[in-house]
Amino acid sequence: MILRKSMRTGYLLAFFCLGVFRVGLAQEERPVTSERPATIDSIDVVRDYRPVLADAVKIRRSPDMTNKRQYQPALTYNILDNKLDITSGTKRLTVQEMPFTNIEARTNNYVKIGAGNLGTLLGEVYLTTDRFPDARIGGYLKHLSQKGNLEGQAFSQQQIGVFGRKTLVPFTLNGELGFNRYGTRFYGVVQDEFGMNLNPDPQRQAFNDIFFNGELTSNFEEDDPDAVSYSVKADAYAYGDAFSARENSVALSGYFNKRVRAFNVGANVSGDFTGVKGTDYQLGNHIARLNPYIRFQGNNYNVTLGAAFVAEFGGTSRTNIFPSAEVDFAVVPQYAHLFGGINGDVNKTAFRELSRENPFLAPDIAIRNSVDRLHIFGGIKGNAGATFGYKVQAFYRQVEGMPFYRNNTDSPHLFDIIYESGEDASKIIGLEGEINVRVSETVSLGGKANFNEFDLAQEQEAWFTPKMRLSAHTRINISDKLYINGELLFQGLTYGFIGDAAIDLSDYSWTEIATGGRKVTIPSFVDLSAAAEYRATDRIGVYVRLNNLMSTTYERYLFYPRLGLNVIGGVNFSF
């Protein structure tokens, strides 16, 4: 029995050893494979490979349509580093080197000449150089002249100037020195009740403007939480007409801003020293301003609190203190910002600006500043990517001494300046809107709209001031060589005032007013213009422009019809 058990145990041990031996032999006979890790040259494919790339991050920069000057100049570049996120395990993408090609020479200069009907002559020369990486200098020369069908209906404009810009490490300098001349005649067609021309020999008028402006602006790091920025600016001009009106001005302004993380503390300061001279009078119209502020700024909000101290001296001496507060809050960052504010200011009345708007002024016009006692505004603005931008704003103003144009009683073809006055300030309620749309790579358009409602203390109407004004523009790139532009201007009806009852107004709609004189209605008008340019070569182009396509001799000011359809064409050469 013992022997059988021993034999049985031996057989079991033998079979077990034999099995172990066969397993070991099988492991030795299996083919030997490399155990090095998978690389780009050797990959074990265990399933179908489907590469999936993350969407590329698109950087979109749309213009902020805020119509105020930024308190800090953005003079540095903030280039974002966006890396392509690839999780497939393949090697990093590399930049493919392009074959050598000749780089097209940039053209910074051009010459433009043109001619058209109504005796139109056009000439432009623009020269500049950018040989220096931190400096730019240049100059320009322009001429435009036209002549209408009415006696004395002639216009001419000349401009000449030089400019420069120099960027240094701590700051940037730029400036411009130039001369502008605008010539016309008092061609207004005025007749008395018997049909006699009251302006048989239109006088010549010409405005000469010598000007200079220069600015020093600091450079700073955009990401510096404790950045200090500053700017100093100087503006000066000597302006006069063909008679005895003269205006000389020197204005100095500057600002200082210190950033302390989420806070900005600073001040704006300026001094405007202007002298006005007429036939038998001379006055000084000087304004000094100080505007300290503190700004709280975050990623999605901006709150500014401050005050404005404005002092007038010279012909008039008075000091005003106005509140200054603004807020900007991002409801949806970039897409929708709510903004609003309250402020006030003294609005300088300058002969230079008045004559640019209406060149048919009478001699020795009165000069007096107006005051915004209260200005409240608010609205919404934003961008939808790089293709759509908008801004809508409503405002309420209380203005003292608002200026208006009015026909002179003795010489109705000339215009005086009158000022709204009374115990209460005049009130203006308005709505403004602006939109810019890029429909496609080849089509872009935009437009502006202004609506105003006046509640005046004394005058019956806001003379020659429209309550509604619309403008629109478009640009279409038909191809790389052909471009088309279009512009549209619509102005609602306005009113003029005539104090002499002997004037013939049979061509106008008018009514008697209780204070004496007649209120004349000036109809609304539409001015449509179009232009096209064809680039024959990289340096030579041919262009044509059509102004007032509807050929309506509308009037902006009473008795002064504008030019009808005028066409101008020519060539330009870039080099």
- Each residue's pLDDT tens digit, 400-448: 999 999 999 999 999 999 999 877 889 999 999 999 999 988 999 999 9
260: confidence class by pLDDT, cuts 50, 70, 90: confident
Residue with token string 């109504």: 118
Does residue 51 have a pLDDT over 80?
A: no
Does residue 165 have a pLDDT over 60?
A: yes
Whole-number Å distance between alpha carbons of 163 and 406: 38
Tokens of 485: 């532009």
Backbone angles phi, psi at 26, to 5 degrees: -65, -40
Whole-number Å distance between alpha carbons of 472 and 462: 25
210: confidence class by pLDDT, cuts 50, 70, 90: very high
Whole-number Å distance between alpha carbons of 254 and 267: 8
Contacts of 514 (CB under 8 A, 6+ apart): none
Beta bridge mates, 417:
405
Residue 9: enclosing H or E segment and its boundaries? helix 2-29
313, burial (CB in 10 Å: exposed 0-12, middle 13-18, buried 19+): middle
Residue with token string 């308190």: 71
Contacts of 44-48 spanning 24+ positions with Cβ under 8 A: none
Q: How many other β-carbons are positioned within 10 Å of the β-carbon of residue 510?
A: 17
pLDDT of 106 reads 59
320, burial (CB in 10 Å: exposed 0-12, middle 13-18, buried 19+): middle
Provide the phi-psi class of 480: left if phi over 0, else alpha when psi is between -120 and 50, else beta.
alpha
With vertex at residue 481, the alpha carbon angle to CA 475 and CA 486, rounded to the nearest 5 degrees, is 20
3-state secondary structure at position 434: strand
238, burial (CB in 10 Å: exposed 0-12, middle 13-18, buried 19+): middle
Nearest to 232 by CA among 311, 302, 281, 172: 172
Tokens of 390: 């908008």
Residue with token string 């004394």: 458
- Each residue's pLDDT tens digit, 526-553: 999 999 999 999 899 999 999 999 999 9
DSSP 8-class letter at 138: E
Q: Each residue of 99-110: b (16+ CB within 10 Å) or e?
A: eeeeeeeeeeeb
Residue 35 CA to its chain's centroid (Å): 67
- Each residue's pLDDT tens digit, 562-571: 999 999 999 9
**Residue 199 · residue 218 · CB < 8 Å:** no
pTM for the model: 0.80
With vertex at residue 173, the alpha carbon angle to CA 170 and CA 177, rounded to the nearest 5 degrees, is 175
Contacts of 458 (CB under 8 A, 6+ apart): 420, 421, 422
3-state secondary structure at position 355: helix
DSSP 8-class letter at 4: H
Pairing of strands 494-498, 482-491: unpaired
CA distances from 415 to 246, 405, 556 (A): 17, 6, 13
Whole-number Å distance between alpha carbons of 119 and 154: 10
Alpha helices for 273-359 (secondary structure H): 351-357
- Each residue's pLDDT tens digit, 360-416: 999 999 999 999 999 999 999 999 877 899 999 999 999 999 999 999 999 999 999
**Residue 486 · residue 529 · CB < 8 Å:** yes
**Residue 442 · residue 467 · CB < 8 Å:** no
If you average pLDDT over residues 204-224, what whole number do you get? 92
Domain 168-574 adopts which CATH fold? Maltoporin; Chain A (2.40.170)
Q: What's the per-residue H, E or C state across 186-247?
A: CCCCCEECCCCECCCCCCEEEEEEEEEEEEEEECCCCCCCCCEEEEEEEEEEEEECCCCCEE
562, burial (CB in 10 Å: exposed 0-12, middle 13-18, buried 19+): middle
pLDDT of 63 reads 44
What would the DSSP string read from start to end of 141-189? EEEEEEE-SSTT-EEEEEEEEEEEEEE-SSEEEEEEEEEEEEEEE----
Does residue 217 have a pLDDT over 50?
A: yes
Does residue 23 have a pLDDT over 50?
A: no
If you average pLDDT over residues 66-70, what whole number do you get? 44
**Residue 550 · residue 564 · CB < 8 Å:** no
Whole-number Å distance between alpha carbons of 468 and 490: 8
Alpha carbon dihedral 290, 163, 206, 114, in 10-degree steps, equals: -140
Contacts of 438 (CB under 8 A, 6+ apart): 386, 387, 388, 444
